[in-house]
Chains A and B, each alone.
Chain A
Amino acid sequence: MACVNPVPKLYRSVIEDVIEGVRDLFAEEGIEEQVLKDLKQLWETKVLQSKATEDFFRNSIHSPLFTLQLPNSLHQTLQSSTASLVIPAGRPLPSFTTAELSTSNSSASFTFPGYPIHVPAGVTLQTASGHLYKVNVPIMVTQTSGRASILHPIQQVFQQLGQPSVIQSSVPQLNPRSLHATAEKPKRIETVLQQPTILHSGTVDRKHLENATSDILAPPGNEHEIMSEALLSQPESSQYIRLPGVVFPPQVSQTHVHGEPVLGVAGSMTQNLNGGPLSTGRQGAQHQHMSDIQLRVLKNRMFGCGSVKQPRNTEEPSSLPVSEKDSNSQMDLSIQVMDDDINEIIQIDGTGDTSSNDEIGSTRDVEENEFLGIIDAGDLKVLEEEADSISNEDSTANSSDNEDPQIDVVEEDPLNSGDDVSEQDVPDLFDTDNVIVCQYDKGAPQDPSLTEGPIQLRTSAKQMTNHSPSR
């Protein structure tokens, strides 16, 4: 009994109990059984991916990270191989040995542990979490670091296009909402790889997808350079969009430049199997990357503009050289922005703290970089002053600062603030990934092997369990 890891079984049993327990709830609400299955699938996937248990599903359910659902008209089978797996469109393939054929809707579902995989256009991909993605251009799926990634051969696509299409300065404004990656809808087919298709067709219309706002306006004939921002924060392979099994369409975002149009394109991530945390992290990276691209664009266009944010370079030195390296091979995308949009983009973080203005200023720079990209030096100063005045107003309700934003505010620490040392520890002290949640039992018989103490903890949390005393 000691050598068997009880955690996977425990998790499985809890999941089963919960799903069974809410089955009636779902039925009462009139929700389909499929949603319940989706919930279970999502839950299991996340637990599996969290690596909380190594062999969570190894012995029970074969849960693939990636499922390919082929269109009804294609009778395609996949050939398993350790080398690349090619799926030619419209041609039958040898059968996949471990494939799970589902006869519903005449579509075939396959799982392939063998990477990389070439997927032609017109195929619908479904991730394990149930999200559907339709492939418009040929993509190649590889597996890196034990996770599936989708490589986006933008280079290939651009070569096919011939002359790089560019964007005119009269491009209509982009909705600032495009900056934010929203959550995806399962079972909704999204067009992925929007950028190549739009560039290819040269359309100017904007397609607003609920989940992926990859609006790229590229009428051909412009002399500007288009820079495809298929890059994410991964510096090692700038040509690829790395995802845990999900495709990230490039995303266009707006930037504000005072008096001169500046554009930027940022690859963004709309969905991933990991859900929230990862997407948040990626969103941050996306914005950072956006500013990197804009830095490059600005360098080419605006001379002597001191608004290029150097702190951004220090924060992501790896990605910037990569993007510079690819500048010759990629096209720069320029988008015109308006002053109104920057007001919407600005997110002034009213922290309400009384920290020094220097800290606020530098934090402002970081946050503004994430959302605004290049800002003119003059504008930035005004923005900082506005931000400072707002934050001061929030924290102290003191109107004196608001009246004089031009004057540098001297650091005014509260009296005897040096005596307070605990404040420095508290914010970081509890910031750890190792958290044990448990229950304690007062007055339980003490175990002599434990350290002395009036209270004996019985830990019963993730990865570690303990015997709970009879109550």
Chain B
Amino acid sequence: MAYQLYRNTTLGNSLQESLDELIQSQQITPQLAFQVLLQFDKAINSALVQRVRNRVNFRGSLNTYRFCDNVWTFVLNDAEFREVTELIKVDKVNIVACDGINTGSNTTE
């Protein structure tokens, strides 16, 4: 089972919201919605591995760091994300990182 990590992204959240709307209107069952999300997990994980080649460098001031259950959580202040084409600056960014081992046993966000 792939990481459910990416459900808290724009793509993932919009999917969840859409599924919630369909559940509310009783067009689908919650179980089906759960299956859809599982499919999403697989799709996004494989897409990121196979179809993405970009590289982004970032630098910031580390406010907090946390390593718990093999999940790193960082809070960066005044971070800069630098890609070849653009530079993005943010005051605060929260980074959640799961272990990149491909077993997928730790399905945590």
Which residues on A are within 8 Å of B, measured CB to CB? 1-3, 6, 10-11, 13-15, 17-18, 21-22, 25-26, 29, 31, 35, 38-39, 42-43, 46-47, 50, 52, 129, 182-186, 188, 275-277, 425, 429-430, 432, 434-442, 449-451, 455, 457-469, 471
Contact = CB atoms under 8 A, between A and B. Distances in A.
Given A429-B64, A471-B102, A14 B53 contact: no
A275 B18 contact: yes
Interface in B62-102: 63-64, 72-73, 75, 81, 83-85, 88, 90, 92-102
Nearest to B53: A467
Given A6-B54, A25-B35, A467-B53, A186 B25 contact: yes
Contacts of B95: 435-436, 438, 457, 459
Interface string B14-46: 110111111011111100100110011011100
A2 B55 CA distance: 10
B105 interface: no
Contacts of A432: 75, 92-94
A141 B9 CA distance: 32
Contacts of B19: 39
Contacts of A437: 5-6, 8-9, 96-98, 109
A432 B95 CA distance: 11
Q: How big is chain B's contact interface, by range?
A: 35 or more
- Shortest beta-carbon contacts, A-B, top 5: A46-B14, A42-B18, A183-B24, A441-B100, A275-B17
Nearest to B43: A17
B28 A35 contact: yes
A436 B98 contact: no
B27 A439 contact: no
A31 B52 contact: no
A319 to B, nearest CB: 27
Contacts of B75: 429-430, 432
13 contacts: A39-B36, A42-B18, A46-B18, A129-B21, A183-B24, A186-B22, A432-B92, A435-B8, A440-B98, A460-B52, A465-B52, A468-B100, A471-B101
Contact of A21 (B3, B11, B43, B64): B43
A18 B43 contact: yes
B88 to A, nearest CB: 8
A186 B93 contact: no
A47 to B, nearest CB: 5
- Among B52, B83, B84, the one with the most A-chain Cβ atoms within 10 Å of its Cβ is B52
B32 A434 contact: no
A21 B32 CA distance: 12
Contacts of B72: 440, 455, 457
B36 A457 contact: no
Given A25-B36, A462-B10, A438 B96 contact: yes
A125 to B, nearest CB: 18
Contacts of A469: 100
A440 B97 contact: yes
Nearest to A188: B25
Contact of A471 (B11, B25, B40, B100): B100
Contacts of B43: 14, 17-18, 21
Contacts of B92: 432, 434
B5 A439 contact: yes
- Among A26, A42, A186, A469, the one with the most B-chain Cβ atoms within 10 Å of its Cβ is A42
Given A47-B14, A435-B8, A459-B58, A14 B44 contact: yes
Given A18-B39, A430-B75, A437-B109, A467 B96 contact: no
Contacts of B29: 29
A463 B81 CA distance: 11
Contacts of B17: 42, 46, 275-277
A250 to B, nearest CB: 22
A315 B15 CA distance: 33
Contact of A438 (B18, B49, B81, B97): B97
A429 B73 CA distance: 12
Nearest to A444: B100
Contacts of B11: 11, 14-15, 47, 52, 462
A18 B3 contact: no
Nearest to A461: B9
Given A17-B47, A47-B10, A425-B64, 5 more contacts: A42-B21, A276-B20, A435-B94, A466-B55, A468-B48
Contacts of A442: 99-100
A271 to B, nearest CB: 9
A17 B49 CA distance: 14
A449 B64 CA distance: 23
A460 B17 CA distance: 22
A28 B48 CA distance: 29
Contact of A35 (B10, B27, B51, B64): B27
A43 B47 CA distance: 18
A458 B17 CA distance: 27
A242 to B, nearest CB: 21
A25 B32 contact: yes
Given A438-B95, A439-B100, A461 B6 contact: yes
B27 A435 contact: no
A162 B95 CA distance: 60
